[in-house]
Amino acid sequence: MTVTPTSRSITNSVLSKEQAEGAGARVRRSIGRPELRNHDPFLMLDEFNVDKNGGFPDHPHRGFETVTYMLEGQFQHEDFAGHKGTIGPGDLQWMTAGRGIVHSEMPVKSQTRAHGLQLWINLPREHKMCEPQYQELLDGQIPRANPEEGVVVKVIAGESHGVKSQVYTRTPTMYLDFKVAKNKTVIQTIPKTYTGFIYMLKGTAFIGDKEFEGKAHHTLTFSEDGAETVKITTKDEDAHFVFIAGEPLKEPIVQHGPFVMNTTEDIYKTFVDYQYNQNGFERAKNWRSSIAG
Q: Which one, 91 or 105, has the nearer CB to ligand FJE?
A: 105
Alpha-carbon gap, residue 147 to 53, rounded angstroms: 41
What residues numbered 173-202 form the site for ligand FJE, per CB under 6 A? Answer: none
Degrees, nearest 5: CA angle 177-180-181: 155
Alpha-carbon gap, residue 28 to 133, rounded angstroms: 27
Q: Which one, 68 or 160, has the nearer CB to ligand FJE?
A: 68
Instruction: Please check if 39 is assigned to a binding site.
Output: no
Q: How far is the CB of 257 from ligand FJE (least distance, A)?
A: 5
- Select from 65, 105, 266, 273 the one that contacts ligand FJE (CB under 6 A): 105
Q: How far is the CB of 193 from ligand FJE (least distance, A)?
A: 28
Please tell me whether residue 22 binds ligand FJE under the rule CB under 6 A.
yes
Q: How far is the CB of 46 from ligand FJE (least distance, A)?
A: 4
Q: Which one, 19 or 193, has the nearer CB to ligand FJE?
A: 19
Please tell me whether residue 160 binds ligand FJE under the rule CB under 6 A.
no
Please tell me whether residue 16 binds ligand FJE under the rule CB under 6 A.
no
Whether 219 contacts 13, CB under 8 Å: yes
Please list, in sequence order, all residues whose beta carbon lies within 8 angstroms of the beta carbon of residue 239, skipping any fewer than 6 positions away. 178, 179, 180, 200, 202, 203, 204, 205, 214
Q: How far is CA 154 from the centre of its chain?
A: 14
Degrees, nearest 5: CA angle 266-61-64: 75
Alpha-carbon gap, residue 199 to 217, rounded angstroms: 7
Q: Could you list the residues that contact ligand FJE (CB under 6 A)?
A: 21-22, 27, 46, 48, 56, 59, 68, 105, 118, 257-258
Q: Per the annotation, where are the binding residues for Fe cation?
A: 59, 61, 103, 105
